Amino acid sequence: MAGSEAAWQAAHMGVDVVIHEMRPKVETFAHKTGNLGEMVCSNSFRSDDDEQNAVGLLHWEMRAANGLIMATADRHRLPAGGALAVDRDPFAETVTAQLTSHPRISVSYEEIDHLPDQGQWIFATGPLTSPALGQAIQAETGAEALAFFDAIAPIVYAESIDMDQAWLQSRYDKGETEEERTAYINCPMDRDRYEAFIDALLAADKTEFHEGETAGYFDGCLPIEVMAERGRETLRHGPMKPVGLTNPHQPEVKAHAVVQLRRDNALGTLYNIVGFQTKMKYGAQTDVFRMIPGLQDARFARLGGIHRNTFLNSPTLLDASMRLRSRPNIRFAGQITGVEGYVESAAMGLLAGRMAAAELLGQPLATPPNTTATGALITHISGGAEARTFQPMNVNFGLFPPVEGLRGGRRGRKDRYKAYTDRAKADWQAWLRQSVLDAA
């Protein structure tokens, strides 16, 4: 996704491009063909609503930038209500044909197993980056900075948490500053609620690992339902331990267990549920997590998951032009940068392709503002996100700076999202106009 879009954008800016693709010579467990732009699992680009949905807005931005992936998705669209579903085989065949027939693009079917010293490179090797390249990246970045699994705890919009039940406090009030001492949101459970929660966890529908996906997984962190299977008290002694915390709403009552949420972005609009990585199916997750006091109306910027996913600690490694800080001739794009999903990956390819081409042509591009969907994503991964707890992210309105003067809460949401998307469209068009070299 990202590599295809990057090549297309750079070529349309007048730069010659070589795509290196290891398939079909070297296979992954998920890809089935040698096509470029292959969708590995679902055939959905999710919501196409560009007024009320952040991923729909990302569609809009990519269409406005003459994106290959969006134009091809539109061409092979299948009926799916408000979502954009794509006929996957013709989609990938068209992407491949468009790229291989482009006069400025050539394709070399080979694995790249090192980070070259010369030339401008974009590494868009995805969640299943080949092991040899993974090792070369680790050698450059340090082992800690490249993850091979994501164990994603669910992320909640801060505004949807009921602070009449929850409260702000770090365990044992640890921290030098007031901000540090109140870095967590705590949700208390009494014994009955805890027992009901454990029952629900054990009964919930779970997804299975894909074949070939599990190696190394238990070195990471356990899903909460696996912890619950090991014993009903395990969670109460692990991520839900109730110690070092006092509930200001009921200071005399000692909670039986406490669920903690930690701030997930600099804006303070998103919180992740600490230690709650899970393989529960999405529907089950919302039902089970809304049993937590304070989260009964929670809205989720993303749900939890654990799967094979090679990704960089981008907040520490990449600059706002997507270059590796230690090797500026190398850019990263797509899912390996810590975005999640076909659309987000393609968007990061679009940006990397344009930025690399502009740099080669001697007219470097500014990063798009974080009021746009593309800009919000790049701002998040290149420094807006907490580096310590960095996990892959879908685009969502929690990544956008708030629009001032609008009503908060559930009732104002429609107006707020419309204001976000109107602002984004104006700012994206202004950013595109800066790209004077755009010949598309």
Ligand X SMILES: Cc1cc2nc3c(=O)[nH]c(=O)nc-3n(C[C@H](O)[C@H](O)[C@H](O)COP(=O)(O)OP(=O)(O)OC[C@H]3O[C@@H](n4cnc5c(N)ncnc54)[C@H](O)[C@@H]3O)c2cc1C
Residue 187, beta-bridge partner list: 259
Please identify, using beta-carbon distances, which residue of 105 and 185 lies nearer to ligand X: 105
Q: Encode 9-37 in three state secondary structure.
A: HHHHCCCCEEEECCCCCCCCCCCCCCCCC
Shortest approach of ligand X to residue 223 CB, angstroms? 17
Name 370's Cβ contacts closer than 8 Å, sequence gap at least 6: 376, 379, 380, 384, 399, 400, 401
CB 304 within 8 A of CB 274: no
Q: What are phi and psi of 360, to 5 degrees?
A: -60, -35
124 binds ligand X (CB under 6 A): yes
Q: Does 108 bind ligand X (CB under 6 A)?
A: no
Binding-site member from 111, 159, 195, 287 for ligand X (CB under 6 A): 111
Q: What contacts 179, CB < 8 A, 6 or more positions away?
A: none
Question: Residue 131 in 3-state DSSP?
Answer: helix
* Cα gap 153→176, rounded to integer Å: 27
Q: Which of 14, 18, 25, 41 binds ligand X (CB under 6 A)?
A: 41
Shortest distance, CB of residue 12 to ligand X, whole angstroms? 18
Nearest to 18 by CA among 115, 127, 102: 102
* Smallest gap from residue 403 Cβ to ligand X (A): 28
Closest to 58 (Cα-Cα) out of 349, 272, 298: 349
The percent helix, strand, coil of the chain (3-state, each to 5) is: 40, 15, 45
Q: Residue 342 CB, nearest distance to ligand X (Å)?
A: 4
The CA distance from 98 to 71, in Å, is: 11
Would you say 57 or 235 has its CB closer to ligand X?
A: 57
Cβ distance to ligand X smaller for residue 43 or 170: 43
**Residues 320-328: contacts with CB within 8 Å, 24+ apart?**
320/367, 320/378, 320/379, 320/382, 320/383, 321/355, 321/359, 321/364, 321/365, 321/367, 322/348, 322/351, 322/352, 322/355, 322/378, 322/382, 324/115, 324/140, 324/141, 326/140, 326/141, 327/115, 327/140
Q: Which is nearer to ligand X, 31 or 256 (CB)?
A: 31
Q: By CB under 6 A, tell whether 256 contacts ligand X.
A: no
Contacting range for ligand X; rule: CB under 6 A; set: 59-67, 68-76, 120-128, 383-391:
120-128
Q: Is 9 in the site for ligand X (CB under 6 A)?
A: no
Count of residues that bind ligand X according to CB under 6 A: 31
Give the residue with the Cβ less far from ligand X, 25 or 254: 25
Q: State yes or no: residue 125 binds ligand X (CB under 6 A).
A: yes
Contact between 54 and ligand X per CB under 6 A: no
Site for ligand X (CB under 6 A): which residue of 169, 335, 391, 396?
335
Sheet holding 257-263, edge to edge: 167-168, 184-189, 257-263, 270-273, 155-157, 300-302
User: Which letter does DSSP use for residue 158 in this model?
Assistant: G
Residue range at the interface with ligand X (CB under 6 A); choices 182-190, 334-342, 364-372, 374-382: 334-342
Minimum Å distance from CB 155 to ligand X? Answer: 17
Residue 421 — left, alpha, or beta (φ > 0 → left; ψ -120 to 50 → alpha)? alpha
- With CB under 6 A as the contact rule, the residue among 1, 156, 204, 376 that binds ligand X is 1
Between 92 and 201, whose beta carbon lies closer to ligand X?
92
For β-strands 327-332 and 121-123, DSSP reports them as parallel
Q: Are 236 and 201 in contact (CB under 8 A)?
A: no
Site residues (CB under 6 A) for ligand X, limited to 367-426 = none
Binding to ligand X by residue 105, rule CB under 6 A?
A: no
Strand, coil or helix: what is 391?
coil
CB 58, min distance to ligand X, A: 12
Closest distance between ligand X and the C-beta of residue 242, in Å?
A: 37
* 20/327 with CB nearer ligand X: 20
Question: Under a CB-based contact definition with an 8 Å cutoff, are residues 356 and 5 in contact?
Answer: no
Q: Is 42 in the site for ligand X (CB under 6 A)?
A: yes
Q: Could you tell me the smallest distance in angstroms from the CB atom of residue 150 to ligand X? A: 10
The binder of ligand X chosen from 345, 372, 391, 396 (CB under 6 A): 345
Q: Does 281 bind ligand X (CB under 6 A)?
A: no
The answer to whether the CB of 152 falls within 8 A of the CB of 338 is no
Site string for ligand X, 21-40 (x = CB under 6 A): xxx----x-xx--------x
Question: Please, which of residues 285-314 interact with ligand X by CB under 6 A?
Answer: 308
130 binds ligand X (CB under 6 A): yes
Q: Which of 210, 237, 254, 410 binds ligand X (CB under 6 A)?
A: 210
Of 60, 194, 342, 397, which lies in the binding site for ligand X, with binding defined by CB under 6 A?
A: 342
Positions touching ligand X (CB under 6 A) are: 1-3, 20-23, 28, 30-31, 40-42, 111-112, 124-130, 133, 210, 308, 334-336, 341-342, 345
